[in-house]
Every structure is written in structure tokens, then in C-alpha cells.
Structure 1
Amino acid sequence: MLRVTGRLADVWIPSMGYADPPALADMNAVIDEATIAAGRAPESVRRAYNIVGSFGAATGFLQGTPRDWAEQLADLTLTQGMATYILGSDDPRALATFAQEVAPAVRDLVEAERARAATRSEPGGIPGSVAPQGNPPAEPSEPGEGRPRHTSLGVRPTPDSGERLAREQAWAEDDRPAFAMPEREYTAHEEATAAHLVDVHDHLRSELTQIREIVAQVRSGAMGIGSARSAINTMTLRQNNWTLGAYCAAYCRILTGHHTLEDRSIFPHLRRAEPGLAPVIDRLEREHEVIHDLLERLDEALVAMVTADGMPPALAELSGALDLLTDALLSHLSYEERQLLAPLAAHGFG
């Protein structure tokens, strides 16, 4: 599977337990060899990492203070090229600490070390000096949303391709409100806070893609339920019950947890910090409710598929439910990033 990843994949997302830190070097080497053999550059496969841990005074990996976490994760980034970290936790305090303290500190440590390395490699370089880098252009807003001004923010929202798979629509997209943050400069810490939202969303997108691939293979007959179980066993959302239904259901729980955290913690904080953002947050909350209903529909299709042992009608219903969820979720995540990256950078997660 690692060689397949190197030949074909855009991202590799192992989990602690399956790939603990000491094992990453050998696994990365296999992926790198496969990318080169396929005529690709090793950096074409983005490396992400699902992590678990607890904040405290212990000395183990991801068991200490936020500073300990930052130093350990920065070391993985510098030595193993891990570019994204996804914390598996439903504890709002742990998630807030990770987003507000650990993630920015990791970025600062990595940037500082890379700057030192670049200076050391340049003859006559001034210690500590870094060539200035311009901010990338802002991502334009989608039609019907106005034009949010993110020109000073170096974190780009993920664009919506506009492609839709289902015949029905979860909602009208041309009446979404927009919020324009006043232009300002952002620190590296603030940009890291905004980037964390994109990282979490990228993980949700990646897992959704994997679910779609498995359903497509099972439906076409290219993969049986037993083979699907083996394929799922290599993925990042690892459960005790290795069935297609268990994997999809686990994804539904994670997505629901993400939206619940936003509704209960992040959104109230942003309402207080930016009252003008209220119409956007109202819309995002309504979309969360619709997505919840689509998850319920997907869950019903999963139950039908399992009880029907993967018969074609049940798989067709599952595919239809998955198409509509895909359309709604990808559109929603893109809209949320376009509207919230700048406010989150300015005000944090609460």
C-alpha cells in the first residue's frame, strides 16, 4: 500500500498506533522510492499525521506541555516532512489548546529552523535574516457572495470547483451572505490559527474521497465486501468493526463532532468578536442542520446496504446519498473557509 501511495496518491495520512513516530522514516522511504520510480517528486505526496495525546507533565510523545508538543511535532516536520497534524479528540479544551498554542508554535519553530538552515547555506548570509516573501493573492469569492477582502491573509480558502454529482440540491447557493473583514496585517501565529481550519477540512475531504472510492469499487463489482474490509484496514479512521458501514458511520460521527464544536464554541465566540458576521454564522448553522439530515440519510442507506449484503439496489441508494452529501459538504467547507479564515485569524477559536 505504501508503494501504491507513492505511485498514485496526493496525500498520505497515517495514524499513531499504525505508524508511530519511530516507524515513519522507513515508511516515508518506501513512499519516496515509489514516487521516484513513477517519475514523480517525493514532495508531490503531502504527508499528514493523525495524532492522539494528552496535555500534562509526562515525558512521553505528546504527553507533556503545549511547548513539548510543539517541539516534538516540529521535529517530525523537519526530519520526516510531516506537513499537517490532525488531533483526534472530542475535548474542546484540548482542541483549543492545540489550535491556539501548539499549531502556531510548531509553525514558528519550523520557520525559524528553516530560516537558520537557509542562512547557513548562503555564503555571506546574515544570521537570522530571511528574504521577504509576498502574500499570495486572495481567493476570489463565489458568485452571489460579494467579495470578502482577505488580501492580507496568507492562508487561501479552498476553492469550490462548482462540480455537482447529485440531481437534487441540498440548498440554494446564490443567496449566501458574505462578510468583509477590514484589511490588516496578520502575524504568523494568526495565520497558523486560520490554517488549522483548512487542515481539519482537508482531512474531512480526504476521508470523504476514500469512502467514495470504496463505495464505487464495491458497486462496480471490482471489490467485494471482504476486500473492502482489507482496504479499510489500511486507512486512517480505524475502528474495531472493519466493515464498510462501520467506516462510513465513523466518518459521520467525526463530521458531526466537528460541526458540534463549531456550533457550541467557535461560532458564539465569533459572534461576540465580530457582530457583523452574524448572518454568515446563521447560514453556516443552518447548513450544519442540513448536513446532519444528509448524514442521517446516509446512515439509513448504510443500514440497508449491510442488511442487504451489498445488493445493487442498496448500493445505488448508498451512492445517491453519498453524492448529495459530497455536494453539500464540499460546498459548505469552501464557503466556511472563504468567510471565516480572516475572522479566525483575527480573533482565534475562542
Structure 2
Amino acid sequence: MPDYGLDLEFGIFPTPDASRHHEVLELAQLADVLGLDHVSIQDHPYQAAHLDTWTLLSAIGSRTSQVRLSTNVANLPLRPPVVLAKAAATLDLLTGGRVELGLGAGAFWDGIVAAGGERRTPGESVDALAEAVTVMRAFWAGEPGRFEGEHYATKGLRPGPRPAHDIPIWLGAYRPRMIRLTGRVADGWVPSMAYADPSTLPDLSARLDEAAVTAGRAPRDIRRIYNISGRFGSGSGLFQGGPGDWAEQLTDLAVGLGMCTFILGADEPDVVRRFAEEVVPLARELVAAERGGGQPDEATPTRVAGVPPAVHTVAAQDPSTFTPEQLAVPRHLVEVHDHLRRELEQVRDIVRQVREGHESVGAARSVINTMTMRQNNWTLGAYCESYCRIVTGHHTNEDRGIFPHLVRADPALEPVVTRLHDEHEVIAGLLDGLDRALVALVGDAGHGSTGKRALDGLSDALDALSDSLLAHLSYEEEALHDPLAVHGFG
């Protein structure tokens, strides 16, 4: 089975648990900040414990800036293709082209029928899916409704809006007819490890390649997406060992079996962090080495905390060429950031006191809410409010002052500035998450398993904030050092 040479992508597949909706949103935000490529959500409208998939994806889209959003896979029998196409196009517009659409022919038919859907035979469900793909692509292209099929018709339909980009369609497929359909029409094939372990992939992929060639397509035009699951430990099974074991196994799947996108089923922040920070970079390096380059391919750079590749085109300047006056500007940025780092240590200390029972939740919230980082214009907002206002007299915060000035001075900085602005929003959300975790302790701390979960949730929220804030500050210092030295404040 060939390696198709496609760039690697990684994501998470959190459970849309209605009882943990705050945690699901925060997990998606964490994936975004850590630089993962996908947040993918299953779709079972008849499942009482699950949130609605499209509503959840919309909420995730509003709280993230880079990560792509997908259904994995949408329940077609309960989502008419025109309505599904409109929902996907709308979310794609609102998120700047971040939607990918996984589709399934249907399963769990008793649940589908109970929710008002039509029971279909296996053959009917595949035929309906093929028609749906035709309907949705015509809708996104803005073609007037003319389709007349056995299961769907769009005669007289006025489609719109168009999506921000060509939305890729993934198909969840295992059986021969579905594999053939995927080879003919899909942009991605998405099997799950639970239903197709690695030993089954070569035969399924060969059938997919054959179907693609028969349809006049190149097999590498179909991205191979694999839903995986596992646990970090000392086991020897697939995704049961340490990060190094995981990276080697992902390399075998990529180079040996042609899979190139890996979506991890995970509901714990620590697991997501280890996957993003330890497994993913090593897997990229190993695959690059196996492919003969020894380093990741220049066309597919490793993303850093959700940064688009264009960010890395901003060239650094030799610091020795700057005057002392020029260097004073980025140096002050580091001084302000050091203040924020000290505040983070204060947050850690007060959370420790809350956990140990030496401090009340109310007192902790009061301290945190008065810190620089908790204000609306936090991080370089403090930089602007204290330093920029004194120096220039008119900057009120980064996003309205320094950032536009830097982009006007050097348009190549726009991706950097966009990332920094987006990260301000993400970290503000993580601060809110920390506050919610403190609120959750009220009445619970010290009371059995509920209190322990609340304390653990507080620690998780603090870890998510710490990881994101420290990574953001480091990136900001590196990315803005030369531009601030060269261009100043305006």
C-alpha cells in the first residue's frame, strides 16, 4: 500500500457530552491554541446525552481561530442535504473557510426512525448518499435547483449562500459499494480504528484506489483520515505506550499504509496536550525522515500554536544592526510579559491555596479579576495602557493601535498580527474557563467525588491557561521583536 506523500494533519474527536458542555468547548479551544488541525464531532441526533452537532460546531467556531471544524460523520437520514449544505456554507462563511463535511449513509436505524427519519435498506442508503453529494455540491456552486432523484429533488431551489471555500466532503465507508462511491466522489475517506483496524486498511484502500482510477481520478486526491483511540501508558498495543511509541505507530500508518490525517478520540486536556506537544512533532519528524528528507517538507511546515504557514515568511534581522534606542522598544515588551508571567505564578499559588483549603473561592476570584491579565485589554493591552499611552498619547490597546500600525508598515506581518489578535480572544476564553472552574467549587469543594472533580477541573483549567499564555507570550516576543525595533509604535 503506497505512501501518497500528503502532508500530515492531526485533530481531536471529543465526545459531545451535554453534561460537560463547558469542557467540550474548552477542549476545542485548547486544540486550537496547541496548533492541531481539526476538531471533529460525531452526529447522533437521537442520542439524548449528546449536544446537537451543528450548534456545537458553531459555538466552537466562534471560540477558535485556526482549527478546522468537521462532522464525523453527519447523519444524512436526519439532515436533508439542502439544509445540511446551507448549514455548512453558513458556518464556513462565519469561520473564514474552516469547515469540512463528513457524511455517513446512516446507522442505528431504530434511533433514526424514532427521531422522524426514514428507514432505508443498505442499497437505498448508499444511493441517497450519492444523490446528497450531488445536491450539496450544486448548492455550494450556486447552481439553480434542477436535480430530480429517487430520494431528493431540488427543482426550483434558489441556492445560497456560497461557502467561503470549496468544502471537502469525507465519507465514512467500509463496505464495497460505499468504498466505490468514495473513490468516485469524495475528497476524504474516514474509517475508524474501532471498525477497521490497521490490518484491514490495505485491502480497503486498494479498493478505494481502484474505484478512483476507474472514475478517472488519482488515488492521492482522496485524503485518508483515520479516527484513532488509545491511552498513554506502558502497554505494547496500538496507541497504548508512550509518546514515542505513538509517533512510531503513526509513522507506520502514514508511510506504510497511506493514512495522513489522524483524529484522536480524547476528552481529557492532558491527553490532548501530550498528543499535540509530544506525539505530533515527533511523528512529523519521523515521517519526513522516512520519506527521505530528514526534515519536515518545506511545503508542509509544522504549525506552531495554530499559526498558518505564512507567518514563518517574516524574516528576522541581525540584532547587532539595531541601535540601543530601537532595542528598548521590544525590551519593554519583554518586561511587560515578565509581569504577566509573575501574575501567572500568583494565580498558581492562589489555586494551590484553594485546593489546600487555605483560601476561599471568593477571595481567589477577587485576586484574579484584579490582575492585568484578567482585564479586557490584557497582555499587550497592558503594554499599550501603561507604556504606549505615555509614549504616544493615543494608543488604547494593541488591536486598535500597535497592530494596525505594524501591518501598515509591513503588510507581511498581517498573519502574525491576526494570530496574536485571535490568541488574545482564546486566552480570554481560557481565563473565563478558570473563573468557571472556581465557581464550580462553590458548595462542592471537599465534598466527596463531586468536590474532587471540581478541584481537578480547576487544575485542568489552570494548566490550559498556563500552556496557552506562556506559549503566546514567547511567540509574541519572538515575532514582534524586529518589527517593533524597526517600526516602533507609529
* Bigger RCO of structures 1 and 2 (CA < 8 A, at least 6 apart): 1
**TM-score, shorter chain, exceeding 0.5:** no
Scaled by the length of structure 1, the TM-score of the pair is 0.44
Scaled by the length of structure 2, the TM-score of the pair is 0.32
